[in-house]
Amino acid sequence: MEIRKGTKDDIDKVAALYDTLNDYLDSHINYPGWKKGSYPIREDAEKGILENNLFVFEKEGSIAGTIILNHEPEEVYNRVDWHNEFSYEDILVIHTLAVHPEFLQQKIGKKLIDFALDYAKKRQMKAVRLDVYEKNTPAIHLYENAGFEYIDTVDLGYGMYGLDWFKLYQFVCL
């Protein structure tokens, strides 16, 4: 079991994880509201690996989960009162936390969040931020249990996909 930076050799596996997860979500409760062919997709994996900010959780020779950590907030983040004045060079933003359906209920998401927080602290980041679809209750519980503070509920502009409201969360590392 290890979490490491993704490489070009991982692109096919991460893209397959995204597709498998979206197929699973399509036939179960789709808490995040993700759609196969829209998000997440192969191009998200390629971009994350190209920018050196996609991490994979390897377990039993398979990619069990993945997460993207960068300094790129959604535009609406800049219009929200985060209760501090940190610059995004001192903030990690979590994107595309995904767990392969074969590894659900194995605390992979928690391990990825713990990794993200440890990664941020080791790099002396001041905060970690994220957004989550308001009806994604499993993820909301994961973030709140990890110590993230609810900040606000906003429209990220994904209403055309039926995703009207997103909750913003922050973990202050100081």
- How would residue 6 be classed by pLDDT, with cut points 50, 70 and 90? very high
Distance CA 113, CA 76 (A): 23
In one-letter notation, the amino acid at residue 22 is N
Distance CA 71, CA 112 (A): 17
The structure tokens 């080791």 sit at: 122
Structural contact between residues 47 and 72, judged by C-beta atoms closer than 8 angstroms:
no
Cα–Cα distances in angstroms (integers) from residue 25 to residues 54, 100, 104, in the given order: 22, 11, 12
- How would residue 160 be classed by pLDDT, with cut points 50, 70 and 90? confident
Distance CA 7, CA 56 (A): 9
**pLDDT tens figures, 30-87:** 999 999 999 999 999 999 999 999 999 999 889 999 999 999 999 999 999 999 999 9
**pLDDT tens figures, 92-142:** 999 999 999 999 999 999 999 999 999 999 999 999 999 999 999 999 999
The structure tokens 């399509």 sit at: 26
The structure tokens 């970690």 sit at: 128
Q: Which secondary structure element, helix H or strand E, spans residue 169, and what is its range?
A: strand 166-172
Q: What is the pLDDT of residue 148?
A: 98
What number of helices (H) and strands (E) belong to the chain?
4, 7
**Can you identify the CATH homologous superfamily of domain 2-172?**
Gcn5-related N-acetyltransferase (GNAT) (3.40.630.30)
Tell me the HSE value of 34 on the side-chain side, using a 13 A CA sphere: 24
The first and second tokens of residue 49, run together, are: 């690996």
Is 80 exceeded by the pLDDT of residue 1? Answer: no
